[in-house]
């Protein structure tokens, strides 16, 4: 098998730490934000969120031992990566933490050399543009199957 070992990161700066250690993630805190405050996954069931984390490369952002931010990447680690569920709690915004989180995501050794990154966002375009994300040059090529009611029916 050509499967590469996943490199774990634990990056600390001041009172803050970014880690990819799944065991350190506060699933209740992540679920609270995603299900009630995100605007993109309102009502997501806890088990659905937990499964998504189990099958992703996750980046937890902590202030001391409190989870204050998160990002996850869905990838084959060879050709494509999808960046999703990225947030920093409102009271911690404006301190450069989203930039620090993005730096760790974009520089992760297992995510180098990907042909394509995908991101869906209605906020913080200014942040992602710093990492060379652009609007779709050919939106007519893009297709999706989208069910915004999926969490309501479960």
What are the per-10-residue average pLDDT scores of the chain (154 residues)? 81 97 97 96 97 98 97 98 97 96 97 96 89 92 90 75
How many CB atoms neighbour CB 18 within 10 A?
A: 22
Q: Is 44 exposed, middle or buried (0-12, 13-18, 19+ CB in 10 A)?
A: buried
Would you state the pLDDT for residue 3?
A: 67
Would you state the pLDDT for residue 1?
A: 57
List all residues 6 or more positions away from 7 whose beta carbon is below 8 Å from its beta carbon: 20, 108, 109, 110
């Amino acid at each position: 098998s050509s499967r590469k070992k996943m490199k774990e990161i634990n990056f600390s700066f001041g009172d803050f730490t970014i880690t990819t250690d799944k065991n350190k993630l506060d699933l209740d805190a992540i679920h609270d934000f995603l299900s009630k405050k995100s605007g993109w996954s309102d009502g997501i069931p806890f088990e659905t969120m937990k499964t998504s984390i189990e099958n992703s490369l996750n980046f937890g952002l902590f202030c001391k031992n409190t989870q204050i931010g998160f990002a996850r990447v869905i990838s084959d680690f060879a050709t494509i990566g999808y960046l999703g569920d990225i947030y920093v709690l409102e009271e911690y915004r404006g301190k450069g933490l989203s930039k620090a989180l993005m730096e760790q995501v974009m520089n992760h050794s297992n995510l180098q050399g990907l042909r394509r990154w995908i991101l869906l966002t209605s906020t913080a375009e200014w942040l992602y543009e710093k990492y060379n994300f652009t609007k779709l040059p050919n939106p007519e090529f893009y297709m999706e199957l989208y069910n915004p009611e999926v969490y309501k029916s479960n």
